[in-house]
Structure 1
Amino acid sequence: MRVGCVGVGTMGGPIAAALAGAGFDVAVHDPSPTAVARTGLPQATPAELAERDVVVLSLPTPEVVLDVVPALVGTTVLDTSTVGPDTSLAAAEVLEGRYADCPVLGRPAAVGRWTIPVGGSQELVDLAAQVLAPVAARVVGVGPTGSAATLKVLNNLMLGVVNAATAEVLALAEASGLDPAVFVDTLVDSGAASVSGLFREVAPRAVRRDYTPTFSVALLHKDNAIALDLARRHGVELPVAQAAQELNGQALAHGRGDLDSIAVLEELLG
Structure 2
Amino acid sequence: MDNPAFGKEPYTRAQAWCWLIEAACFKDVFHDIKGQSVVIQRGQICKASRELASEWKWAETKVRRFLDRLTSEGMISTDVTFGKTIITICNYDLYQASTTETDAEERTPQAPENDEMSEKSVSEDRLKTSAESGALESQGQQGFWEDGGATIGAKAAQDRRNIGAQKKEGNKGNKGKDIYTPEFLKFWDLYPKRVAKADAAKAFKGAIKTTALEVILDGVRRAQAHWDKTGTDNQYIPYPASWLRAESWEDEFQPQSISEEFDDIYAGVLQ
* TM-score for both structures, normalised by structure 1: 0.21
Between Structure 1 and Structure 2, which shows a larger proportion of helix residues?
2
| Higher Cα radius of gyration | 2
Higher relative contact order (CA 8 A, sep 6+): 2
